[in-house]
Amino acid sequence: NRGLLSCFVTISLSFEILVFYSYKVDGFRDKHVFITGCDSGFGNLLAKQLDGKGFQVIAACLTEKGAADLTAATSPRLKTLLLNVTDSESIRKAPPTLSCFPAAGLWGLVNNAGRSIPIGPTDWMEMEDFTKVLDVNLIGLIDVTLQFIPLLKKARGRVVNVASILGRLNLVGGGYCPSKWGVEAFSDSLRKDMSHFGVKVSIIEPGFFKTAVTSVDLINADMRRLWTRLPQHVKNAYGNTYLEDLQDFSMRMLCSADLSQVTRCMEHALTARFPRTRYGAGWDAKLFWIPLSYLPSFVADFVVKTLLPCPEEAKNNRKAS
């Protein structure tokens, strides 16, 4: 009897939670959403998705081609804007030039723009390699958010920040993991500060998906660039086959082609009456990476080390000991 009662209570609570998260806001056609990084990937798909549901979408693209292609694939409601999130001047000009915003303000801001390279072992990096990634993924995200906060407060709207499972668990060196950990921290602070004004903040934590950020060709080409400039003593420490082994690892990473797993989370964060604080997107995130992030550091470190190639010098030290 106790087992049946426990099962009944669990099912009832699960149903109540599902119902709780299923309540939607209304008036999509009166709500404006600003999305960065819409040339391709998550941002591009989300812009089309929200446009199809009647939202007033303002899609920020990095290139004219990206903006033109998106305009051709969507309704006349959708507006595009050329924006480089590393250019503070263009960010400051964005809100005043968007005369389409009503007096009610901006309902949603989706900070999606991002880059991954350079990535690789930390001692392959120079300071510039870190700043290239941090300027887009973290500083640019903060800069855009600060410019749009007045409009978001006016609408009591939503901020949706794209982090990553690598914002919870470090897998590679370079600026990507630090930038995504920074997105997590900034989003947590923003959520607490903006709660006083009715603005809700959600974090999207995707696993591995097939986008420009995870392009094997781009990542491997950049790792070759990093390798060629290394001093010989660093190359010797890693060994002649390390670069090839690392590139093989990047090619073996399973990336899902179903980007809608991520954009559905984004849409829920914008449309649910009670959006979640964090959304794990992708089965690899939910079943492997996020659970691994909760384990003790020595366990997570061990798992990551088994996935990545070992430098030649480390192998020799093990043999000697």
**Helix pair 260-271, 41-52: axis angle to 10 deg:** 50
Residue 279 annotated among the catalytic residues of the structure: no
The SS3 of residue 108 is strand
**Pairwise CA distance, residues 206 & 303, whole Å:** 20
CA 118 to mean position of chain CA atoms: 16
- Find out whether 163 and 183 touch, Cβ atoms under 8 Å: yes
Which whole-number Å values give the CA distances from 223 to 72, 184, 226, 235, 309, in the listed order?
Answer: 36, 26, 5, 13, 14
Exposure string over 264-286, b if 16+ CB within 10 A, otherwise e: ebbbbbbbbeebeebbbbbebbe
Q: What is the distance, to the nearest Å, from the Cα of residue 292 to the centroid of all Cα atoms in its chain?
A: 19
Residue 306 to residue 302: CA distance in whole angstroms: 6
Cβ-contact 220, 177 below 8 angstroms: no
Query: Which of 21, 23, 176, 294 is labelled catalytic?
Result: 176
| Residues recognised as catalytic | 176
